[in-house]
Structure 1
Amino acid sequence: MSKYFVEFAALAMAHFLALISPGPDFFLIVGTSVREGASRATGLCAGIAAANGAYILLALTGFAFIKETPLLFTALRTAGALYLVYLGVMLLKAPRRQDSSPLEPEAESSGTNRRRQFAAGFLSAILNPKNAVFYLSLFTVMVSRDTPPPIQASYGLWMVLAVFFWDLSIAQLAGSEKVRCRLDRHTHWIEKCSGGALLLLGAVLLVRGG
């Protein structure tokens, strides 16, 4: 069995276990999908995947300065915590939908909406310094220095795709019309719980210093 296959299997398993653990991105996706529908959360998932890709690229190119520079790490951590608090407050303040009819087109164009969702997802993931530490540690501990760069790049590409499609599956489940119709009476509270979870996560990061 190829050592690269074994290496990839170990890397993929560790990444998947981290992926299925609910975090800020999970609550953001659920809250957005329940309110706006799965199709409108696609940009959000793409933004989250792009931010993960940025940190994977940093890990592959050997940039450990985020972890090794306390001031930079603290600044990023604080910004991330404040952004989680902001997202939580926005979800908590969102008004209750009046009915369970299919979503009407928004005043803004679909392209504008996708860019807005992409930016929200990207900021959510890029302002989480734990992503930087996770990928840096993952590649440092599990990937051999002898592994050729193209193979390491394929590992990174797989992880970016895994993040995107996993998040997209969550959005499809939470935002599907069938699920939303069944949970229509509880949609408002699901959204509020997601906002509360984001607010709590941000507050805990601020109080504990990340």
Structure 2
Amino acid sequence: MSHYLLEFGALAVAHFLALISPGPDFFLIVGTSARQGPGRGAAVCCGIAAANGLYILLALTGCAMVRDHPLLRDGMKTAGALYLLVLAVMLLRAPRHTAGGAAAAPERVPAGSRLRTFGAGFLSAALNPKNAVFYLSLFALIVPPTTPALVQALYGIWMFCAVLCWDLFIVWTIGNGRVTRYVNGSARLLEKGSGIVLFILGIVMLIR
């Protein structure tokens, strides 16, 4: 049990650090919530979470195939470690920005029903190839073949819930001035800290 807790901890930390790093989904959520209200923002969040859930499912099934081929498994681990290093460098070199400025970034959010905004969120996450690479790399790097399928499924459910809850938290911050000011003040520090941790994790996985 303790082994699974350590495994889950490494998986959850790496996933959350990547999750809180601003990307296309973040700007879509902020822009939709600011211009169309929290209801539409929540619909976008559900769409993004659904696409992430699909990639998580594909990663879980794909990892079983990868593990049956040692060369493919080792290559995937190396690629995953390098991907974490690239992501870390991007975070460490990211230009300064604020949530307030980010709100004006997206201009292509559909103004129709919640179903349409759900679709916008789903496509935003589904059409981002980094999501597929990230989840497959994460499972291949951290979760060993001996981990039961049920435990892996619980990992996947946790990550799906983490994506949804974090995105809904972003929607909530749009209407909360104090939280927005805090995010503006600490975004740079969060990026740098996340970059350092992901860099260390990538190095450890590369030499393991």
The match for 1:57 is: 57
Gaps of 5+ in 1: 69-86, 95-105, 184-210
The match for 1:149 is: 149
State the alpha-carbon separation in 1 of the partners of residues 125 and 146 from structure 2.
30
Gaps of 5+ in 2: 67-75, 77-104, 182-208
Larger Rg over CA atoms:
1
State the alpha-carbon separation in 2 of the partners of residues 22 and 42 from structure 1.
17
State the alpha-carbon separation in 1 of the partners of residues 106 and 28 from structure 2.
8
The match for 1:18 is: 18
Asked if the contact 2:51–2:122 (Cα under 8 Å) also holds between the matched residues in 1, the reply is yes
State the alpha-carbon separation in 2 of the partners of residues 41 and 161 from structure 1.
17
Query: Higher relative contact order at CA 8 Å, sep ≥6: structure 1 or structure 2?
Result: 1
The residue type equivalent to 1:51 in the other structure is A
State the alpha-carbon separation in 2 of the partners of residues 90 and 11 from structure 1.
33
| Shift, 1:90, TM fit | 2.5
- For the residue of structure 2 that corresponds to 1:22, the secondary structure is coil
The match for 1:167 is: 167
The residue type equivalent to 1:90 in the other structure is R
**Pairing of 1:61-76 with structure 2 (within 5 A):** 61-62=61-62
| Shift, 1:39, TM fit | 2.1
State the alpha-carbon separation in 1 of the partners of residues 152 and 114 from structure 2.
30
State the alpha-carbon separation in 1 of the partners of residues 166 and 60 from structure 2.
22
| Shift, 1:89, TM fit | 4.6
The match for 1:2 is: 2
The residue type equivalent to 2:157 in the other structure is L
**Pairing of 1:34-183 with structure 2 (within 5 A):** 34-62=34-62, 88-90=106-108, 113-174=113-174, 176=175, 179=177
| Shift, 1:88, TM fit | 4.0
Task: State TM-score, norm by structure 2.
Answer: 0.62
The residue type equivalent to 1:55 in the other structure is Y
